[in-house]
Amino acid sequence: MSEYDYIIIGSGIAGLYDALMAQELGSVLIITKGSIDECNTRYAQGGIAAAISSLDSPELHMQDTISAGAGLCDPEAVRILTEEAADRIADLVKFGVPFDTVNGEIALTKEAAHSIPRILHAGGDATGERIEVTLSNAARSSKRITILEYCLAIEILVLEGGVYGVTALDLHSGSLEKFGCRFVILATGGVGRLFKITTNPDVATGDGIALAYEAGAEITDMEFFQFHPTALRLPGVPLFLISEAVRGEGGILRNADGEQFMLNYTSEGDLAPRDVVARSIVSEMKRTGTDRVYLDVTHMQARIVSARFPQIYRFCLDHDLDITSSMIPVAPAAHYIMGGVRANYWGETNISGLFASGEVACTGVHGANRLASNSLLEVLVFGKRIVERSKRAANAAISAGEEAFSLKERDWDSSSPSVLSLTALQALLWENAGIMRSREGLQKAVNTLAAWEKELVIPTDRPSYELANMVLVGRFMTEAALMREESRGAHFRSDFPEPSDAWLRHIVYRKEP
C-alpha cells in the first residue's frame, strides 16, 4: 500500500483546511469522488459567524447558538466554537481569503437568530466560493499534499479498534486500491441529496456517515435536518439558494397577496430561527393555496442590493428576474444536517485514529437547530483541533456511548414504491421526513427504506455506492425521527407538536459487532 500520515476523504473547506494544517506534520492524501471543486462549501452564500466586533463577545455568540439549538447543544463545544473563532478567522486572512471590508475593517452583517451583526462575508454573497478557491489553490500548490480526484472511498480499514487505511475505487479505471495511514479524517459533507428539493450539490450523499458506521463509529442526532426557508422557486430554473443574509439586510417575506406574514406566526418576524421561518412559510403556502411566497427587497436601494448580493442579483437577472424591482419567489429546501458521526471536542470518534470534520461530524455545537453561518466556523475550529490532537495523542479515541441502537429488521410496507431508485428515494423522504413529520409518514418511510436495503445489489460504481449510502443514511434519519416523539428545533412532529423534557437526550446508532 502507498502510505501517508493523513488520509482526508472530501475536498470541501473541511478537507482542504485540515489538509493545509496537517501538511506541517506529515504527508497528506486527499481522496475526493469528483473534482476538488465539487463541494457544498462554494454554495455557502451567507458567510461565517465570529465575534470580532468591539460590540460583540464570544459569550453573546454562545448564548445565541445555544438558544437556536433548542436544548441539545453541548455547552462546552459551543464555548470552544465561539472562543476560538477569532483565531481561525485570522488563519483564513493569512491564507488570503478576501473578506469584504468597510473603511478598512472587515464588514459584518446580521442573520436570523443572531442578536448582533457578526457575519463575515466575501464577494458579497460568494463567501463559500472565495474560501474554497483560496484553500484549493493553496492545496494544489503544496508539495506535501497529494490529491486524488474521481476516486471514491468505499471502506475505512480498521484493526483492533484503530484505523490503518482506506480502500478506494478509481472511478475512471474501475480498479480498487488500498492506502495506508496513521489517521483518517472524514470531511465528506452532508446528506442533502436525500431530498427531492435541496440546495445541496450532487456530491452530498452521506458517504462519510455510511463509511463511519460500517467501520464501527457511532452516528447521532440524525433526526435533526435543517430546511432553508428561501430557495428560488421559478419554473424551469435550477434551484438556487437565496441567502438568509438577504433578510438580515432588510428583506421582507410576503405571501401571494403581497402581505407581510411572518409576524402572524412569531414575534421575531422575518429574523426568526430557520426552522420557525421554514414551517411558517409552509403554513402560509398551504393557507393561500400556493407553492411559493416572496422575498421583497424592492424597498432597498438598487445599487446596494446588486453590490451586497451580486451572485443572487446576477443569477436572477440571467433568468429574467430583476430583484431590485420585482419580488423573489421562494420556498423551503433541504439544506443542512445537524447530526452525523459522533465526535468529541477534538473531532475524535470512538475509533482510534478516525476523525470527523465539518458537516459529516456531530460535535454538539448545533444541537437541534444550527444557528446561521456557524457551519463554516465549526469546520475551522474543530479542524484545527483535529490536527492538534493527532500531534499529541496518536492512539486516542472517545469511549463508545453507553446506550446505542442498531438498525432493526422491518416488514415491507406494501403501499410504498416497490422499485428503488434515486428519484423514488428522494420523493419518499421529502414527502414523509421533510419539514412536517408524522408517525404515519415516518413509519411508511422506515419500512420502505428497510425493504429497499434488502434489495440492494453489490455496488460497483459511484451511483450504486451512493444509492446504498443514501438508503442507509435515510434509515438513520427516519428511524430516529420516528423514535423522537416530540418537536424540537428542526424536528417537527405534527402528532407531537410540543417539546418534551423527556427527550433532552441524543439518539445514537452503532453497528452491532
Residue 274 annotated among the catalytic residues of the structure = yes
Which three cell numbers, joined as nine digits, stand for 287?
Answer: 393557507
What's the rounded Cα separation, in Å, for the pair 10 and 32? 5
**Per annotation, catalytic residue among 274, 462, 475, 493:** 274
The per-residue DSSP string of 258-299 comes to S-B-GGGT-TTGGGS-HHHHHHHHHHHHHHHT-S-EEEE-TT
Helix (H, G, I), strand (E, B) or coil at 182: strand
What's the rounded Cα separation, in Å, for the pair 322 and 374? 30
- CA 153 remoteness from chain centre: 20
What does the DSSP 8-state code read for residue 370? P
Under a CB-based contact definition with an 8 Å cutoff, are residues 227 and 333 in contact?
Answer: yes
User: Cβ-count burial of 501 within 10 angstroms (0-12 exposed, 13-18 middle, 19+ buried)?
Assistant: exposed
What's the rounded Cα separation, in Å, for the pair 202 and 199? 10
The per-residue DSSP string of 410-446 comes to ----TTS-SS--HHHHHHHHHHHSSSSB-HHHHHHHH
- Sign, CA dihedral 245-246-251-255, equals negative
Under a CB-based contact definition with an 8 Å cutoff, are residues 293 and 270 in contact?
Answer: no
The set of residues, in sequence order, having a beta carbon less than 8 Å from that of 413 and lying 6+ positions away, is: 443, 444, 447, 448, 451
Which three cell numbers, joined as nine digits, stand for 5?
Answer: 500520515
CB half-sphere exposure, 433, CA atoms < 13 A: 34
- CA 28 remoteness from chain centre: 24
What does the DSSP 8-state code read for residue 41? G
Looking at the annotation, which residues are catalytic? 274
